[in-house]
Amino acid sequence: TERTFSILKPDATERNLTGAINAVIEEAGLRIVAQRRIRMSDAQAKKFYEVHAERPFYGELVSFMTSGPVVVQVLEGENAVAKYRGVMGATNPAQADEGTIRKRFAKSVGENSVHGSDSAENAAIEIKQFFDDKDIV
Ligand code: ATP
Ligand code: MG
């Protein structure tokens, strides 16, 4: 069993899609073992996305992620990292497979409803930025 880190982004909370997206997550066999609704600070968002600091969309991404509430989550299950990436769909909703979260809900490549870690190693790093071990149950 494995853990991954998930964010339901501001475009999702804004449209009241938390429950609909969580249903997709749970139907995929992933268990939500920690969850909190927060407003990300500018510093938190900059640190979280620092690997993209040199990308042209970095400023836009940080301002989007701080524009409204997000739901941060830890998901657990068999091959959780890859499984969640599959359920999310491609970064650009226009390229996402039918039935994926991004195909169903994302507004654009930037406002794409969800984040999911891209490796188990990054999942551990990302989880630590938002959760204490004792709060993951
Ligand atoms: P995430 O890391 O959010 O799970 P991802 O791994 O599919 O998404 P990344 O390449 O890591 O995609 O990009 C991180 C985020 O940056 C994307 O989810 C999206 O919100 C934003 N982003 C990526 N490419 C673009 C772009 N061309 N224009 C605007 N925003 C973008
Ligand atoms: Mg990514």
Residues 74-111 have pLDDT tens digits of 999 999 999 999 999 999 999 999 999 999 999 999 99
Average pLDDT of span 54-74: 98
Cα distances from 21 to residues 11, 48, 87, 111, 117, in angstroms, run 12, 22, 10, 15, 16
CB 91 near ligand 1, within 6 Å: yes
pLDDT on residue 19: 98
Torsion sign (Cα): 129, 53, 10, 6 = negative
Residues 9-43 have pLDDT tens digits of 999 999 999 999 999 999 999 999 999 999 999 99
pLDDT on residue 33: 99
In this prediction, residue 132 has a pLDDT band, given cuts at 50, 70 and 90, of very high
CB 118 near ligand 1, within 6 Å: yes
pLDDT on residue 58: 98
Pocket probe for ligand 1: among 58, 112, 117, 127, the residue whose CB has the most ligand atoms within 8 Å is 112
